[in-house]
Amino acid sequence: MTDSPTTRSAQPAGALPGVSYVMPVLNEVTHVEAAIASLLDQDYTGPFDVIVALGPSIDGTTELVERLSRVDPRIRVIENPTGSTPSGLNVAIEASQHPIVVRVDAHSLLPRDYTRIAVATMLRTDAANVGGIMKAEGTTPFESAVALAYGSKAGLGGGAHHVGGSEGPAETVYLGVFQREWLTRVGLFDEDIRRGQDWELNRRLRDAGGTVWFTPELVVVYRPRPSLERLARQFFSTGLWRGELARRFFSANALKYFVPPVMVLVAVLGAVVGVVGAIVTGLGGAAGPWLLLGFVVPGVYLLFVAVSALAAGLRAGARTGVWFLVVLPCIHFSWGLGFLLGFGKLTSNITAHNGR
């Protein structure tokens, strides 16, 4: 393999390339300290720094991160005025100095060997980006139900970066360990895309001739959202931007992304037809009984949810199974509704209304 300009760097022969961890943070006082601690605890022996792009937080995150920075000079805090993830990533990348950039999420905990394995894989494959599996783990029955949904085909479709798969080139990966030279070449993250920016960046890397490499050796623990409201907001926003990306790059999107929105439309339409049928039947209309068949569609969906919840309960306990009854429809309908609005070109209007 021929070394790329990035991996060669200015390091002495045989030395490991330097690594910069970049982490956008906004209102993450519950998780950010553990996330940063997992970076400082890496067994990678090359030089590194940690760049935290701090958004306008109001929950104590600012004070916590600044205290951590004063204690350890390897942690640098820079301002991210907009608070958005892509702008935070970009300002952190621009403020960093090493030839390899490791994207980190405040909800993620990197295992000690993460950087060592990622860099070794990059040097072996010369990939532009290397990533692995997002292993969701909860600390409460609700979070455990969310974690099960993340890792199941019933929840998020069972993609390789959620459930694993064979090592090799991929469409996208979780987080990412990048060669800086490739990031610079394609223009960093698109700050107009608030969610799904990883997939969009990986699309540009592939179009420019780079390789996005998946390896199941990289497993990152992810902490799910702790409440139903935050989960719904997360998946509505994710679906909204996935719909926007599907509209912009239609041919590049797999059909699986259209399953939740189609399910939402069919289930809602079926329920509406069933309700109309019940009204018509009550009024003595001949067509009423036939229209009642519309209830079959949402009925089948509810049966699917119930069976999935039973399986979750047998696997993780009754309380988790009960929460799964709520979590699964929340994910499907929040994501599906967001997708429909994003695909219908309403992304910018909703983002402007929400202020982020």
Q: What is the CATH number of the domain that holds 92?
A: 3.90.550.10
Domain containing 78 equals 5-226
**What's the pLDDT at 160?**
56
On whether the CB atoms of residues 130 and 177 are closer than 8 A, the answer is: yes
**What's the pLDDT at 223?**
83
**What's the pLDDT at 161?**
59
* CA dist., res. 170 & res. 137, Å (int): 24
Residues 187 and 312 in one domain: no
Q: How many residues are given for the chain?
A: 356
More confident: 221 or 122: 122
Residues 113 and 262 in one domain: no
In a domain, 79, yes or no: yes
Burial letters 196-206, b for 16+ CB under 10 A, else e: bbbbbbbbbbb
Q: Give the pairing type, strands 129-136 and 174-179.
A: antiparallel
For 200-224, what is each residue's pLDDT tens digit?
999 999 999 999 999 999 998 888 8
List the Cα angle 7/118/208 in 5-degree steps: 55
Which of 239, 292, 278, 291 has the alpha carbon at shortest distance from 262?
239
Chain mean pLDDT for the chain = 86
Which of 246, 286, 296 has the alpha carbon at shortest distance from 266?
296
**What's the pLDDT at 257?**
77
**pLDDT confidence bin for 141, thresholds 50/70/90:** very high
More confident: 305 or 253: 305
348 has pLDDT over 70: no
Q: Can you tell me the mean pLDDT for 308-312? A: 89
Residues 127 and 30 in one domain: yes
More confident: 43 or 10: 43
5 has pLDDT over 60: no
Residues 221 and 341 in one domain: no
> For the chain, what is the domain count?
2
For 258-280, what is each residue's pLDDT tens digit?
888 888 889 889 999 888 888 88
Residues 210 and 344 in one domain: no
* CA dist., res. 267 & res. 245, Å (int): 24
4 has pLDDT over 60: no
DSSP state at residue 127: -
In a domain, 264, yes or no: yes
2 has pLDDT over 60: no
Whether the CA torsion 284, 285, 290, 295 is positive or negative: it is: negative
Burial of 172 (0-12, 13-18, 19+ CB in 10 A): buried
6 has pLDDT over 50: no
Residues 260 and 204 in one domain: no
* CA dist., res. 138 & res. 156, Å (int): 16
119 has pLDDT over 50: yes
Residues 279 and 174 in one domain: no
In a domain, 239, yes or no: no
Domain boundary among 206, 226, 246: 226
Whole-prediction pTM: 0.79
**What's the pLDDT at 34?**
92
Residues 35 and 85 in one domain: yes
Residues 100 and 222 in one domain: yes
In a domain, 250, yes or no: no
Domain boundary among 209, 226, 243: 226
Q: Which of 154-158, 170-174, 327-331 has the lowest mean pLDDT?
A: 154-158
Residues 82 and 169 in one domain: yes
